[in-house]
Structure 1
């Protein structure tokens, strides 16, 4: 019986430390299983689990120290030394909250004092009469940036594994909340608010565990564009500047278009398919996805969703994309390419439009299309949280990419 308690206690002691971190890491055998409930239980009861483990091994250890031979007693030393190593490794070295520290010095600058290159990708947010841009390389390193825009507390997030950007109103139970990165669920970032200890999914803003389970954070509209594109619409915008404490980690000298490149060869169709980028759209409960390569090949796509007709455009920087409602003054417009000018023409009035959704010539000159929310991320991530998504199929696309 003493052996049983000793083995059980040691397994619980070691297992508690390992599981709490391992289950939130990007390992396929864990991420593709529903382990949130048990992981949350371990995280929030770890102190009591440690106490239970120590109680289980207390008498067997006492018995060994009191009655066993010297060499048997010495065997306890590497066991407990191993536990100390495991404890430190998984709680201080591997824990995401320890690896990805929050921004320490947060500063913003207007265009004339900005140090961020204009071709960098940013998450743009405009609300309450204020426009701000958050470089993806900065947000991506921290995974989240807490800020206030026009008096509203916001949470700017970016999951580097699935390439998804989301912005939320950072209010929980009527109070501004502070969030910390916990790890991953279904290969997507999970955050915990310090007040209620609930876990929130980055992709959906829904609490997946804790007192707030099934509640949803209010999403704030955002765009993923280049800084130069954001300045075209919001010349008075301010840009988040790099925190000097993490300059090397940001890798700002590197080309951030790596976010558009895949690690997988097209020869592996299934792997390529899951890691390919799509533009996801949610409208009145309907989900649809558009292949990023289809858009880069054609530069604009027309489509119709239930209750809305849309136009998807890509600017000449090959990074800034927009989803527009193509209904104007009660009429649904249809578009065609104008040679290699980078502009398009609506068939209805023969007016010319740019890829920023503005009519620049013709009967509708001065008209601006209404922009709708859309997201760029991997198909694997989008499909995991929106499994009933319909894939856009363009029969006339002049491309050779692999269809999803």
Structure 2
């Protein structure tokens, strides 16, 4: 099971990191950092017990709130050694909190306070993490001023860069050749310029990203299994195609992407750089539509569709429900967030709507609610929209403008209050008079992940 595998990788890499951290040659000598930063860096590189004790005493004597995140990260990476235990004792004494070696509790405590980090905290973070992957140094080194998100909330997810390998230009096969799929298997369906594709969950959960050209357009599809989001983006912005990958880091349990050219970190939810040289340059990838449905329903709607081949170039058990089986089977989180909201269960699926023209009005609608109400209409700002939900629970959202819809056959036909019949397409709805209403790009997500990213979101349930 992938959760168990990820934990094994996490613990083994942590073990590797301790050995690397204990190498005196690990840290860069080219960049100067404050003596306070080196209290912590020296602590994890020295093998001298007496020197460790001196450094722990110095840290405790000179304690300030800005030390908390570094102490937690040292404890996190040194949990198998005396350093981790002793750092936990210092943390407990200086903060008054008694969480022992429970990293999630320490992170939750920290993240519910105003961020307090040293001016060169990013240097500490770059040096601490580069033992896991040399590329990690670039993510943080010199980039603290550019960060749009709390740097102390950027947490290693247990894998190296592209350690969960994206599918790049993956092999596709016609629907008739997809004998490995059953009709009730979950797929993520897209149509771009008439080019229909299906990406089965059973495959994509092992890779969490695909980079492809669909309908003549370069696209990036990102699946954050932890937060239940599948989002499709146009990879090209202002004439530049950004080659995206999996950074290995998380922000509020949602994966951070990176671009190969600058190694900037990108928000998965918003499709824009949040740490690095691309921040502040007006770069944001446009959303495209994706629908979570069953293979049987998708191929009935799109018999011409292509679907991922099992020949991915990787050896995985692509059986239905194998990847992340334990994680999806309960409501526990693998990586925590600042707080959870009990209005819904953590992993209850919601339809996430955040219109570009009204970014401060995010909306979450319970998928269970939508299954009971296959026609749902509301407004965000001046935009009136309608959600059509089919029998598989798949949601499609359209700009309704001045219309009021009364019926949806949960297939391809909807009827408005005037009695006009509309055909439901992936990119639009259209009536016999040629009136068109465009698709609004939305996606599904787990409630906890969406609420963590947008704590003030409105919820319909």
Q: 1:28 to 1:141 in 2, by over 3 A?
A: farther
Are 2:175 and 1:111 aligned?
Answer: yes
5 Å matches for 1:3-402? 10-13=42-45, 27=104, 29-30=106-107, 33=111, 41-42=123-124, 44-45=126-127, 94-97=158-161, 99-103=163-167, 106-114=170-178, 115-171=180-236, 174-214=240-280, 215-226=282-293, 227-243=295-311, 246=314, 248-252=316-320, 263=331, 270=342, 272-283=344-355, 284-285=357-358, 286-318=361-393, 320-327=394-401, 331-336=402-407, 345-349=415-419, 351=421, 370-392=438-460
Q: 1:348 to 1:237 in 2, by over 3 A?
A: same
Q: 1:365 to 1:270 in 2, by over 3 A?
A: same
Alpha-carbon shift at residue 105 of structure 1 (Å): 8.6
Alpha-carbon shift at residue 195 of structure 1 (Å): 1.8
Does the residue aligned with 1:142 lie in a helix, a strand or coil? coil
Aligned equivalents of 1:47, 1:346: Cα separation in 2: 56
Alpha-carbon shift at residue 108 of structure 1 (Å): 0.2
Aligned equivalents of 1:229, 1:145: Cα separation in 2: 22
Between stretches 187-196 and 305-314, larger displacement belongs to: 305-314
Does the residue aligned with 1:183 lie in a helix, a strand or coil? strand
For residues 32-84 of structure 1, the C-alpha deviation after alignment (integer angstroms, 9 at most, x for no partner) is: 7369997854454459999xxxxxxxxxxxxxxxxxxxxxxxxxxxxxxxxxx
Aligned equivalents of 1:211, 1:191: Cα separation in 2: 14
Aligned residues: 337
Aligned equivalents of 1:342, 1:256: Cα separation in 2: 33
Aligned equivalents of 2:287, 2:278: Cα separation in 1: 20
8 Å CA contact 1:358, 1:369 repeated in 2: yes
8 Å CA contact 2:352, 2:362 repeated in 1: yes
8 Å CA contact 2:387, 2:398 repeated in 1: yes
Does the residue aligned with 1:157 lie in a helix, a strand or coil? strand
Alpha-carbon shift at residue 178 of structure 1 (Å): 4.2
The structure in which a higher percent of residues are helix is 1
* RMSD of aligned residue pairs (Cα, Å): 4.7
For residues 301-332 of structure 1, the C-alpha deviation after alignment (integer angstroms, 9 at most, x for no partner) is: 222332232221221123x21112334xxx41
Q: 1:262 to 1:357 in 2, by over 3 A?
A: farther
Q: 1:359 to 1:220 in 2, by over 3 A?
A: closer
Q: 1:16 to 1:124 in 2, by over 3 A?
A: farther
Aligned equivalents of 2:185, 2:214: Cα separation in 1: 21
Alpha-carbon shift at residue 210 of structure 1 (Å): 1.3
Q: What residue number does 1:64 align with?
A: none
Q: 1:16 to 1:251 in 2, by over 3 A?
A: farther
Q: What is the TM-score with the length of structure 2 in the denominator?
A: 0.59
Alpha-carbon shift at residue 102 of structure 1 (Å): 3.5
For residues 125-176 of structure 1, the C-alpha deviation after alignment (integer angstroms, 9 at most, x for no partner) is: 3224422222223222212122222443322101111101112233478244
Q: 1:365 to 1:230 in 2, by over 3 A?
A: farther
